[in-house]
Amino acid sequence: MTFVPIDRLKEGMMLDRDVYLYDYKTCKIAMLRSGQVLTNSYIQKLDELQILGAYIHSDDRDGPGGLTDGPIRPELKEEAISNIQCVFKMFDKSAQNINISYINQTVEISKKLVTALQSNKNIELSIASLKMYDDYTYNHSLGVSILSIAIGLSMGLKTAELYELGFCALMHDIGKMAIPIEIISKPAKLTKEEFEIVKQHPLKGAEFFLKHQLANKKVCAGVLTHHEKFDGTGYPSGLKGNQIPLFGRIISVADVYDALTSARPYRDPSSPADAIEYVMGCSGSTFDIAVVEAFLKRVSPYPIGSCVKLSNGEIAIVVSQNDYHPLRPMVRLLSNPEKILDLYRDREAYHVVIENACNIATSSL
């Protein structure tokens, strides 16, 4: 799916998410459901009601207007997952038969991911657009790579650096192949001894790439340091602040966010909002503040057009995102639809938070 601004919506495109509307002339709530094919009259109505755009089904990438799918096409995800599996299995076989083509293919996949995200710079990533497979290890690696590249884009990294960052993030957990499977897949909290074994995986991964000269020092450093913490309490070396290479600081944020929002045998996934709040709460301690700020510009727990319940009991529709605080977007209250409330900047909204996304009774548009 991809978010398409109102001026780029075309007749024939299919919605990939519900869009809630409030027509203050008729005082009725309306909704265009996911799967609805847009007509010119629908698009005009969206424009009249100040809806900034809509999420469009990925199959419409070659439809009217030549829309480019975003951020990542399914076939590229499949190619990435397949290649990650090949490289990880190569590690698992003690690298007796190093196939450099797998490494080269992974680098090319990183370049494709960077190109896809560069062409959709205004896209805000949602968890639905990242999750594709049940296999946690490989899907997690892809999700971390996409998020890391998005953060890098927000931080102004050059294209060549983004290629390296994407490759580094794809491979960040390869060292886990050296950890006994019964520990990695244990459906319960690890013992102290087991966690000490798991903590070896960044070093194992970096050693693999260095030993076989499969990556440069910048990539190896990112693999080695993605579990370091900004306050010096991480592992394996207890590095602090800018002692941690930039790739490690970026992947650290992406890694934690993707892990929190993923289902595991021993816990349910956190909501995007809860995961974002956790990341924000760790800014300056676990995470680099500058990296967190860049991250916040690229995630979207409450997409434009979604319906939310506020802590004061009001129901509202999200009309615009807030770059620096995605948990506090601009919303239109259904009880007073002529007014748009900025949950981040309006003084009257300082005490109001979004409790959850919700569904409401609607009429046909």
Contact partners, residue 88, CB within 8 Å, separation at least 6: 137, 138, 174, 177
Residue 353 in any domain: the answer is no
Domain of 283: which CATH number? 1.10.3210.10
Same domain for 120 and 44: no
Tell me the three state secondary structure of residue 57: coil
Does 128 score more than 60 pLDDT?
no
Tokens of 178: 């050296």
Q: Which residue, of 281, 296, 311, is where some domain finishes?
A: 296
Rounded to the nearest integer, the mean pLDDT of the chain is 83
Same domain for 216 and 171: yes
Same domain for 155 and 21: no
Query: What is the mean pLDDT of the segment spanning 278-286?
Result: 95
Query: What is the mean pLDDT of the segment spanning 191-197?
Result: 95
Same domain for 12 and 38: yes
Q: Which residue, of 41, 62, 83, is where some domain finishes?
A: 62
Same domain for 138 and 14: no
> What's the CA gap between 89 and 138, in Å, rounded?
11
Same domain for 144 and 99: yes
> What's the CA gap between 214 and 267, in Å, rounded?
36
Residue 308 in any domain: the answer is no
Domain of 39: which CATH number? 3.90.105.10
How confident is the model at residue 281, as a pLDDT? 94
Q: Which residues pair with 299 in a beta bridge?
A: 125
Residue 339 in any domain: the answer is no
Residue 356 C-beta-side C-alpha neighbours within 13 Å: 5
Q: Which residue, of 37, 62, 87, is where some domain finishes?
A: 62
Does 348 score more than 50 pLDDT?
yes
Tell me the three state secondary structure of residue 45: helix
Residue 254 in any domain: the answer is yes
What is the band of 60 on the pLDDT scale with cuts at 50, 70, 90? very low
Number of domains in the chain: 2
Same domain for 141 and 78: yes
Same domain for 51 and 90: no
Closest CA to 15 of 58, 64, 67, 52: 58
How confident is the model at residue 58, as a pLDDT? 60
What is the band of 279 on the pLDDT scale with cuts at 50, 70, 90? very high
Same domain for 230 and 107: yes
Same domain for 26 and 89: no
Residue 329 in any domain: the answer is no
What totals of helices (H) and strands (E) does the chain contain, helices first? 13, 9
pLDDT tens for each residue of 151-160: 999 999 999 9
Query: What is the mean pLDDT of the segment spanning 98-121?
Result: 84
Phi, psi of 114 (to 5 degrees): -60, -45
Same domain for 55 and 83: no
What is the band of 42 on the pLDDT scale with cuts at 50, 70, 90? confident
Same domain for 247 and 227: yes
Does 221 score more than 90 pLDDT?
yes
Tokens of 122: 């205004």
Complete DSSP assignment for 168-210: HHHTTTGGGGGS-HHHHT-SSPPPHHHHHHHTTHHHHHHHHHH
Percent of the chain having pLDDT more than 90? 42
Domain housing 188: 74-296
Residue 336 in any domain: the answer is no
> What's the CA gap between 290 and 312, in Å, rounded?
32
Closest CA to 248 of 213, 217, 278: 217
